[in-house]
Amino acid sequence: MTEDSRTSKPTIYDVADQAGVAISTVSRVLNDSQDVADGTRERVLRAIRELQFRPNRTAKSLAEHTRKTISVAVPTFTTPFHNELLKGVRDRLDDEDIDLLLCDLEWEAPQRTLHNFLEGGAMDGLLIVGVGSDDELAEELSMLGAPVVLVGSYLEGFDSFYWNDEPGAKMAVDHLIEEGYSRIGMITTPHHNRIRDARVAGYRQGLEEAGIAFDPDLVVHGHTRKHDGFSEESGYEAMQDLFALDQPVDAAFASSDVQAIGAWQALREEGLKVPEDFAFVGYDDIKVSRFIGLTSVAQNMHNVGNTATDLLLDRLDRDGPEEYVSRLVEPRLQVRKSSRNP
């Protein structure tokens, strides 16, 4: 292997050159065509292994002239948050002659699932949503041979869109305090991660700046692990823990709208009304929140999905960006009846 091949991404041309065959032959091997002699196939496969070449749909299409494909990898397709983002992706692709491939990463082990997905190659561009970033992931993505845009996380050397969660949580608490509430609980998730920790930090900052002591007993989560704790069931269970406190709370900030919706049901079962007896602020501003009157911190998921896809399409037409985009998406509070003190 030459010095250049160790410091740059191997291409289908490198494989063809090392195996001593035409690009069309490499393409036929990649597509498992039977129209290749066994000895030739083995030379191509050996070159692929030695060069650590990862095939992608762009490489395969050089000889086939197939249409391009972009992949979107998300922790799950079934949460309203990710649905809103995927709608933004879909709307941007409506007028494009491009195939969309979806990968469900699963909440339990998203990075392992992503690794297995990447091993298959077969994509021209990749949009990754909600996966933690580390050096191992950065190295794997750099070998993909296709442009990558991250949503919800940041990696140096890649295009990234990520949310400013701490001030988002703080503006939710600030609003409740301005409405006259002082005993404010927080519904969060069981696992420590960047999103959870940032939103708890914003909650705490809002309280302390208002002269209200932070009480860790008021930060609760449910035991249902579906969707990593971002579920109606988890919110329902967390609200029951808030009921069990010796000194009841009069308001709550939930880390997601779906948690707030579950908690709201727990309130109904206790005969409590919102906002007459209790105030709520959620997070994400999913579509249903606008119809039930839930105050929420908007993350502009549809717009982020649309804009991130637009950037990925732009990258498909270029050899590489002169400068990567790193965009911090600022939240905004959408005030509705659930938090207005009557």
The predicted-structure confidence for 79-88, as pLDDT tens digits, reads as follows: 888 889 999 9
C-alpha to C-alpha distance for 108 and 312, rounded to whole angstroms? 27
pLDDT at 263 > cutoff 70 = yes
- The predicted-structure confidence for 101-129, as pLDDT tens digits, reads as follows 888 877 666 667 777 777 666 678 889 88
Tokens of 175: 């609003």
Is 289 within 8 Å of 70 (Cβ atoms)?
Answer: no
Mean predicted confidence (pLDDT) in 227-250? 92
The topology (CATH level 3) of 64-163+302-330 is: Rossmann fold (3.40.50)
pLDDT at 209 > cutoff 60 = yes
pLDDT at 160 > cutoff 60 = yes
Which residue is listed with tokens 């069309």? Answer: 24
In this structure, of 65-74, 154-163, 189-198, 218-227, the range with the lowest mean pLDDT score is 65-74
More confident residue, 314 or 342: 314
Beta bridge partners of 186: 219, 253
Model confidence, pTM: 0.76
Mean predicted confidence (pLDDT) in 33-62? 74
Beta bridge partners of 222: none
Sign of the torsion angle spanned by Cα atoms 281, 256, 243, 233:
positive
Mean predicted confidence (pLDDT) in 324-331? 92
Q: Write down the pLDDT at residue 65.
A: 46
Q: Write down the pLDDT at residue 114.
A: 75
**Mean pLDDT over all residues of the chain?**
85
Which residue is listed with tokens 């992706």? Answer: 89
So what's the architecture of 165-299+333-339 in CATH? Answer: 3-Layer(aba) Sandwich (3.40)
pLDDT at 44 > cutoff 90 = no
Q: Where in the chain is the domain with CATH 3.40.50.2300?
A: 64-163+302-330, 165-299+333-339
Q: Where in the chain is the domain with CATH 1.10.260.40?
A: 3-53
Please state the φ and ψ torsions of residue 210, each to the nearest 5 degrees. -95, 5
CA triple 130-132-136, angle to 5 deg: 135
Beta bridge partners of 148: 126
Mean predicted confidence (pLDDT) in 208-233? 91
Count of CB atoms situated within 10 Å of the CB of 35: 7
CATH no. of 3-53: 1.10.260.40
pLDDT at 212 > cutoff 90 = yes
pLDDT at 27 > cutoff 90 = no
pLDDT band at 13 (very low <50, low <70, confident <90, very high): confident
Is 63 within 8 Å of 24 (Cβ atoms)?
Answer: yes
Dihedral of the alpha carbons of 167, 106, 96, 122, in degrees to the nearest 10: 130
Tokens of 251: 């308001």
